[in-house]
Chains A and B, each alone.
With several copies, the nearest count.
Chain A
Amino acid sequence: MSIYLDKNSKVIVQGITGGEGSYHTARMLSYGTNVVGGVTPGKGGQKSEHGLPVFDTVKQAVEATGATHTCIFVPPPFAADALFEAHDAGITLAVCITEGLPVHDVLRVVGATPGMQIIGPNCPGLISPGKATIGIMPGHIFKEGNIGVISRSGTLTYEVVDLLTRSGFGQSTCVGIGGDPIIGTVFVDCLRAFANDAQTEAIVLCGEIGGSDEEDAAAFIKEHLAGKPVIAFIGGRNAPPGKSLGHAGAIISGNFGTAQSKIAAFQAAGVPVADRPSEVPRLLAQRLGVTV
């Protein structure tokens, strides 16, 4: 198994005829993803350059292909609309690659799309190595295996996955959840999914300063995830204090999202925290009782 995505998941691409959409559709197909079509209003009835059917609306695409997953490559002013369209058409998992969505659009979307798992926005997507990928991750650095990976950062994920793969740790599913203030899928959502995934034996979580997702994740692990070891890494211990949410935001979340607070939370939950990415494989080997 794996979470959120496997070989059979039927995927459409919203914005398939655009530059980015077309390029990454080709990459997804070559990785083995079951991309069944795409959507570009006004180009319905045509074929994409990959030979896939193009539809005017997501509804038509879903009716014709039975797609359940979508990958969204549309410019920021149209991304919320694309997400609502996907939800309305019955899509159950949407990956939104688009960067720069107004946060109020995202608030509206996450508040009114029950039943649809949104990954992102502003994220690299997800991959179940050896099966399928949705998004823009570089497939060649991944390897099928039993480690679940979740990360707020794109390139940092690649860094960590690269180290895991080179150390012999393959991955069940890797989810790049994105680093925006409001995202559809948070650490806890992924942890819950990994908890129920037989293929996943251990989890690597790459957090960052800011917000309280890591603290929430630590609380969840303590409560619900005794069976599967988790290793964490927190980026940005020496980064400038985040300016984006201001003081009122910090008071809302009950803390100031410092690296210290996050590390302390993980340690209290029995989760080893790597000092640096290169320490992750070693800590993982320790917890799994294997040698790298």
Chain B
Amino acid sequence: MNLMEFQGKELFARVGIPVPRSQHCHTPDEAASFVAKNPGKWVVKAQVLMGGRGKAGKIKFATTADEARAVTAEIMATPMPPNRQNPNGEPIHSVLVEECLEIDKEAYCAITIDRTSKKPVVMVSRFGGMDIEEVSEKHPESIAKKAIDTAAGFWPFAGRELAFASELDAGFRKQLPAIVGGIYDLFFRYGAKLVEINPLALTKDGRVIASDAKVELDDDGLYKNKEFAEWQKALPLDEDESLATASGLGIRNFRRFPGTVGTMANGAGLAMATMDAVKNANGEIANFLDVGGGANAERVRKCYELVVNHTNAKVFFVNIFGGITRGDEVAKGIVEALNTTTSRKIPLVIRLTGTNEEEGRRILTQAGMTTVATMDEGAARAVELAKA
């Protein structure tokens, strides 16, 4: 689960990472009333998950209540425009009215998980305020990395090493160990997969403050913090994610593509291999779908309806490796699913392997479905049908 800036900064505050003074506002009036009570220079930032707010004109300044009302209204009037990351854009439901920092220097600081060392790794760069991918391309040597030993936990020396290795401005140096300690603490306490402070600001009066906050939480660990259930409900899902959860699938088990060959397989690896097989047969994929373990009738029906109603599929290629489940049971589930659905019918190509596979194929053939013996054969047949 990705958090919005105001949520990320709330967690920052809890672990002692300095953040600018701010107020989360849902309406222009709320913003105006806050600025009226708190004179000063403020920045109004749209609260969305998408990046590119600045370029989209969704970050504006205000020094009076009227200005605050006006820019908030302007920001919230239109959704975030689509970009490559999110082709649907994103509606804006709130803004963060925040102390306008007088920034002297900007740095980058993040923690994430390194698969290879199996440890949390902290990254620091003296190039803040720009996309870290860009920094990584243009100034790869500027990025200092440090794996943290989870058995020892975080100790300040790691922050000092990062400050010196990344040649951060000396103004950052004293505070960096505490900032890194804070993101390490947040990382474990709240189960984050990524915590990114970009930019980490050194202000003209010498404070080191998290000017932005990007936090991605581990979905598998959300249950440990009850409050996250509320946050999750309030966050936008993209359309594929919404469709997946509405069909009872995991959030990452379904994704659409522009092609015409619908697919379904059990297990992410086999589902990916199934897509590859369709590609190898010169077909275009309509979707990725991992039905998970236990392909029972109800589950199969929902997946069928999901693909038929929400993708461009002209054919539905089902690729099940029975494993422990018996092939005849799976076959019965498929037949029952197809008999009970009220959605329009498209041709099915079914590849079914596992215990009692022959018996399963017999059941399917009797129900008038196309069965094939191998994944490659199924892919070829599905592509043929899609092009027919």
Residue in A140, A181, A246 whose CB lies within 8 Å of B355: A140
In the complex, the answer to whether B255 meets A240 with C-beta atoms within 8 Å is yes
Q: Choose among B149, B155, B322 the residue with the greatest number of A CB atoms under 10 Å from its CB.
A: B155
CA distance A251 to B116 in the complex (A): 12
Interface flag for A18 (CB, 8 Å): no
| Contacts known (A100-B220, A112-B150, A156-B269); A42 close to B113, Cβ less than 8 A | no
Residue in A85, A181, A238 whose CB lies within 8 Å of B157: A85
- Residues of chain B from 225 to 272 with CB closer than 8 A to chain A in the complex: 252, 255, 257, 265-270, 272
Report the minimum CB–CB distance from B135 to chain A (whole Å). Answer: 9
Residue of B nearest to A57 (CB): B161
Interface flag for A290 (CB, 8 Å): no
CA distance A58 to B121 in the complex (A): 19
In the complex, the answer to whether A103 meets B269 with C-beta atoms within 8 Å is no
In the complex, the answer to whether A136 meets B375 with C-beta atoms within 8 Å is no
In the complex, the answer to whether B272 meets A236 with C-beta atoms within 8 Å is yes
Interface flag for A29 (CB, 8 Å): no
In the complex, the answer to whether B252 meets A104 with C-beta atoms within 8 Å is no
- Residues of chain B from 113 to 151 with CB closer than 8 A to chain A in the complex: 113-116, 118-121, 123, 131-133, 136, 143, 145, 149-151
Interface flag for A157 (CB, 8 Å): yes
Interface residues on B, range: 35 or more
| Contacts known (A42-B173, A138-B322, A246-B193); A155 close to B118, Cβ less than 8 A | no
Q: Choose among A103, A105, A112, A159 the residue with the greatest number of B CB atoms under 10 Å from its CB.
A: A159
Which residues from chain A contact B157 at a C-beta distance below 8 Å? Answer: 57-58, 81-82, 84-85, 88
Interface flag for B328 (CB, 8 Å): no
Which residues from chain A contact B375 at a C-beta distance below 8 Å? Answer: 159, 276-278
Interface flag for A113 (CB, 8 Å): yes
In the complex, the answer to whether A103 meets B221 with C-beta atoms within 8 Å is yes
Report the minimum CB–CB distance from A27 to chain B (whole Å). Answer: 7
Q: Choose among B110, B158, B173, B272 the residue with the greatest number of A CB atoms under 10 Å from its CB.
A: B272
Residue in B136, B156, B255, B277 whose CB lies within 8 Å of A251: B136
Residue in B113, B131, B269, B376 whose CB lies within 8 Å of A235: B269
> How many CB-defined contacts (below 8 Å) exist between A and B?
214
Interface size on A, residues (CB 8 A): 76
In the complex, the answer to whether B323 meets A107 with C-beta atoms within 8 Å is no
In the complex, the answer to whether B112 meets A252 with C-beta atoms within 8 Å is yes
CA distance A76 to B340 in the complex (A): 34
Residue of A nearest to B256 (CB): A240
Interface flag for B34 (CB, 8 Å): no
In the complex, the answer to whether A238 meets B194 with C-beta atoms within 8 Å is no
Interface flag for A47 (CB, 8 Å): no
Residue in B164, B173, B223, B321 whose CB lies within 8 Å of A158: B321
In the complex, the answer to whether A213 meets B123 with C-beta atoms within 8 Å is no
| Contacts known (A112-B150, A252-B123); A153 close to B268, Cβ less than 8 A | yes
In the complex, the answer to whether A235 meets B272 with C-beta atoms within 8 Å is yes
| Contacts known (A181-B115, A248-B196); A159 close to B216, Cβ less than 8 A | no
CA distance A213 to B255 in the complex (A): 25
Q: Which of A190-198, A204-212, A261-269, A281-289 contacts B (4 or more CB under 8 A)?
A: A204-212
| Contacts known (A56-B164, A80-B155); A138 close to B354, Cβ less than 8 A | yes
Residue in B119, B252, B269, B276 whose CB lies within 8 Å of A238: B276
Report the minimum CB–CB distance from A39 to chain B (whole Å). Answer: 10
In the complex, the answer to whether B113 meets A138 with C-beta atoms within 8 Å is no
| Contacts known (A111-B149, A238-B279, A244-B193); A152 close to B220, Cβ less than 8 A | no
Interface flag for B204 (CB, 8 Å): no
| Contacts known (A248-B196, A251-B133); A155 close to B164, Cβ less than 8 A | no
Interface flag for B95 (CB, 8 Å): no
Interface flag for B330 (CB, 8 Å): no
CA distance A281 to B184 in the complex (A): 47
Interface string of A73-103 (1 = CB under 8 A from B): 0001110111011011000000000001111
Interface flag for B365 (CB, 8 Å): no
In the complex, the answer to whether A57 meets B280 with C-beta atoms within 8 Å is no
| Contacts known (A41-B160, A154-B267, A159-B273); A103 close to B115, Cβ less than 8 A | no
Interface flag for A260 (CB, 8 Å): no
Report the minimum CB–CB distance from B140 to chain A (whole Å). Answer: 9
In the complex, the answer to whether B136 meets A136 with C-beta atoms within 8 Å is no
Residue in B151, B193, B323 whose CB lies within 8 Å of A155: B323
CA distance A104 to B110 in the complex (A): 16
Residue in A88, A104, A209 whose CB lies within 8 Å of B221: A104
In the complex, the answer to whether B267 meets A104 with C-beta atoms within 8 Å is no
Interface flag for A182 (CB, 8 Å): yes
CA distance A152 to B323 in the complex (A): 16
Report the minimum CB–CB distance from B242 to chain A (whole Å). Answer: 15
In the complex, the answer to whether B113 meets A182 with C-beta atoms within 8 Å is yes
Please give 11 more A-B residue pairs, beta carbons under 8 A apart, in addition to A81-B157, A153-B269, A155-B270: A41-B160, A44-B164, A103-B218, A138-B322, A162-B321, A235-B272, A244-B252, A246-B112, A249-B113, A249-B114, A252-B114
Q: Which 7 A-B pairs have the closest CB atoms?
A: A153-B269, A155-B267, A102-B221, A156-B269, A111-B150, A85-B157, A236-B272
